[in-house]
């Protein structure tokens, strides 16, 4: 049978570029695109088939910010497939981003500007809100919705003849300083995106420890700085127009300025071709682009504490139990 690949957040940006690149690597895969609503899913499928008319592409509707939607999608996928070979956990949000220009100026004066521009450390803040489940929206969409999804799909992911793979889209902005076990949903801070991505790194580490023996492997990637709908919301369009030539120049010094979704998907596609048994479970695989436009992948050790990861995982399990009690009617 053909390999089955599920991609969340497939309607644009890195997700859509990834879908196209995966079909270039292997046109025999069955690609299932997961999007927030049915209209986006069908439009995404049509866009992919324009370039790959012979491809097997199906859709599933899932809003990762709605736990009921996640449970319904998981149930549909369990009915439709006997196994999943790859799940790209790519969907994410960064609502109401704001740039701290004062921090940028300070970085310029202290010589830390390049570091700040490549990691967004101290530069980006967000205003989060509660979703319909009473959970923080960024935490739910970027991490917990995905966690519930893969927990509900374990029967398709574990115990297969060949290993199955989870590949999470994280960020260089994933920082321990933005995360707290006592406020793991980041209800009290202004760096919810960074917190959710650090939580993603922690989760991947624990999943490997618990599920590798069952044939499920988890990896984390960083697409670099990609110009997408998420990025364009940070500044007015006219400023991006002025900044783009400068950003192309910065890429000679900052290899994580991948800029295009095609380049940003480099690490995702590279992992598609690797044997998971030989990968470093504590590494984050970064998409990089040289100043002359050559793409490559660079592994970097993640700054994660394994004890913290285990404690956080237990909190996720507790929250999962509450979720399943609330939505018991959506379970088999």
| Alpha carbon separation from 295 to 157, 258, 259, 284 (Å, rounded) | 30, 8, 11, 16
Q: Which of 171, 168, 194 is nearest to 118 (CA)?
A: 171
Q: How many CB atoms lie within 10 A of CB 244?
A: 12
**Calpha distance 109→65 (Å, rounded):** 40
Q: 193, 198, 217, 285: which one is catalytic?
A: 193
Phi and psi torsions of 222, nearest 5°: -120, 120
Phi and psi torsions of 164, nearest 5°: -105, 160
What residues pair up with 222 in beta bridges, in sequence order?
286
Q: Backbone dihedral region of 153: left (phi > 0), alpha (psi from -120 to 50 degrees) or beta?
A: alpha
Phi and psi torsions of 92, nearest 5°: -170, 160
Tell me 189's DSSP state: S
Element of type H or E holding 138: helix 137-139
The H helix count followed by the E strand count for the chain is 14, 10
DSSP class per residue in 52-67:
-TT-EEEEEE--TT-H
**Calpha distance 194→139 (Å, rounded):** 10
Q: Which residues contact 118 (CB under 8 A, 6 or more apart)?
A: 172, 225, 254, 256, 257
How are strands ordered across the β-sheet holding 56-61? 56-61, 30-35, 4-8, 86-89, 164-169, 216-222, 283-289, 295-301
Calculate ∠ Cα 131-137-9, nearest 5°. 115
Tell me the residue length of the chain: 332
Answer yes or no: 193 catalytic.
yes
Catalytic residues: 193
């Amino acid at each position: 049978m053909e390999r089955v690949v599920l991609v969340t957040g497939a309607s644009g940006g890195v997700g859509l570029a990834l879908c196209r690149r995966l079909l270039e690597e292997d046109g025999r895969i069955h690609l299932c695109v997961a999007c927030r609503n049915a209209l986006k899913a069908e439009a995404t499928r049509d866009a992919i088939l324009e370039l790959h008319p012979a491809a097997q592409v199906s859709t599933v509707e899932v809003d990762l910010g709605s736990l009921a939607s996640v449970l319904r999608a998981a149930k549909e996928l369990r009915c439709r497939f006997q196994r999943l070979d790859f799940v790209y956990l790519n969907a994410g949000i960064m609502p109401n981003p704001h740039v701290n220009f004062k921090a940028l100026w300070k970085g310029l004066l202290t010589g830390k500007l390049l570091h700040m521009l490549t990691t967004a450390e101290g530069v980006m803040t967000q205003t989060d809100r509660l979703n319909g489940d009473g959970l923080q929206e960024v935490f739910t969409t970027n991490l917990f919705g995905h966690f519930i999804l893969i927990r509900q799909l374990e029967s398709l992911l574990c115990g297969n003849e060949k290993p199955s793979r989870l590949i999470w889209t994280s960020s260089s902005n994933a920082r321990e300083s933005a995360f707290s076990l006592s406020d793991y949903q980041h209800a009290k801070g202004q760096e919810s995106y960074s917190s959710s991505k650090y939580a993603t790194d922690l989760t991947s580490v624990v999943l490997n420890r618990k599920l590798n023996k069952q044939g499920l492997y988890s990896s984390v990637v960083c697409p670099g700085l990609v110009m997408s709908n998420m990025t364009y919301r940070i500044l007015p369009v006219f400023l991006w127009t002025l900044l783009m030539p400068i950003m192309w120049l910065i890429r000679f010094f900052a290899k994580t300025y991948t800029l295009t979704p095609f380049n940003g998907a480099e690490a995702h596609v590279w992992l598609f071709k690797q044997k998971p048994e030989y990968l470093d479970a504590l590494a984050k695989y970064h998409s990089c682009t040289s100043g002359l436009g050559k793409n490559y992948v660079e592994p970097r050790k993640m700054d994660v504490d394994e004890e913290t990861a285990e404690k956080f995982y237990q909190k996720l399990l507790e929250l999962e139990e509450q979720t399943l009690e609330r939505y018991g009617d959506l379970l088999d």
